[in-house]
Amino acid sequence: MYTWHSNIDRAIHCRLDFFVVSRHLRTSVLNSSIISLIGSDHSGVSLELQIGVARGKGTWKLNTALLDDPIYIETIKSAIHSTVNSCRDKDPSFVWEACKLSIRSASIAYSKYLAIQRDCYERFLIDRISHLEQLQANSPSEQCKDQLTDARSALNIIYDFKLKGIIIRSRARWTEDGEKSTQYFLNLEKRNRTLNTINELVLENNEVIKNPTDILQELEQFYKKLYTKRSDVMSEIFFMNTTLNHFKLSSEQQRSCEGKISLEDCYISLHSMLLKSHLVQMVCQLNFIRFSGRKLGS
């Protein structure tokens, strides 16, 4: 199969590229195939590996691109409305937790639905591009060339959408309009993932463990012990002594802090935070709070 094609004359194809993998990965390879790439005259390679480490679901984060989807907005509004109506006699804190749960459930279901649709369309475009490239190589025509251009443009839109997600997950401090250095953001995302991964752990007896299952068990025991309530009289005495000696507000200062915070006060603070924030992730979180605040504020 050809791995290079000329951008000037699509009838010119060559077998230029040679793909290799590490020797220790050869037994883990399940499938490999050559796929079309957008923005390059070389084809890409898809490699499917079998990884022995069992991974969990991980933490869920809202895809804030959904906030521009009118169907998603109506879905969330309906979920909030039904949750609030079913919890009218409950404590406000319970209603808030129930609303967050309903928002999370509805968001996950809708995101999975969109992801399945997007993946199916992407696979269709990749197969169509491969088919059209073969047709163009065997019998070039203007009609086939135009169809190939349209299919590549549609696939490029999907890749641009994925790039935005990579930029957010890479936690880049800022991005410039028109900047499409995909490799840069992929490396940032990979670095963040590497920093968050514990490959080995040193125990109290100086024993080093590297098995992922053992590491997870030790972490579970550590945090269970960390968050278990302990009765330590000396710590309580130290806490009381340190807090009693701290500066206290005067009666006038205490009265100035009394009163309920209005919705407008909250939105003024949110607006000022959005103006000052350059973090992509922080802007996404604030946008969601601003989106849901009007509905849940009362």
- For 115-143, the pLDDT digits (tens) are 899 999 999 998 888 888 888 878 888 88
pLDDT of residue 1: 57
pLDDT of residue 56: 65
The pLDDT tens digits of the residues spanning 96-115 come to: 888 888 988 999 999 999 98
* pLDDT at 226 (0 to 100): 80
280 CB-near residues (< 8 Å, 6+ apart): 167, 168, 171, 172, 173, 174, 175
More confident call, 145 vs 245: 145
Q: What is the pLDDT of residue 260?
A: 77
Asked whether residue 90 carries a pLDDT value surpassing 90, the answer given is no
pLDDT at position 177, please? 45
Average pLDDT for the chain: 75
State pLDDT tens for residues 192-217.
665 567 777 888 888 888 887 888 88
- Residues 35-62 have a mean pLDDT of 72
At 176 the pLDDT is 46
- Nearest-angstrom CA–CA distance, 124 and 42: 20
pLDDT bracket for residue 173 (50, 70, 90):
very low
pLDDT at 121: 92
Strands (E) across the chain are located at 4-5, 13-14, 29-35, 44-49, 201-202, 208-209
Tokens of 83: 């949750």
Closest C-alpha among 91, 126, 64 to residue 291 = 64
**Type of residue found at 23:** R
- pLDDT tens track for 22-35: 776 777 788 887 77
Q: What CA–CA distance (Å, rounded) separates 104 from 183? A: 31
Distance CA 92, CA 60 (A): 24
Percent of the chain with pLDDT over 70: 65
Instruction: Evaluate if residue 14 carries a pLDDT over 90.
Output: no
Residue that wins the pLDDT comparison between 36 and 102:
102
CA dihedral angle for residue 78, residue 80, residue 86, residue 91, rounded to 10 degrees:
-170
Q: Does the pLDDT at position 285 exceed 60?
A: no
Higher per-residue pLDDT: 289 or 283: 289
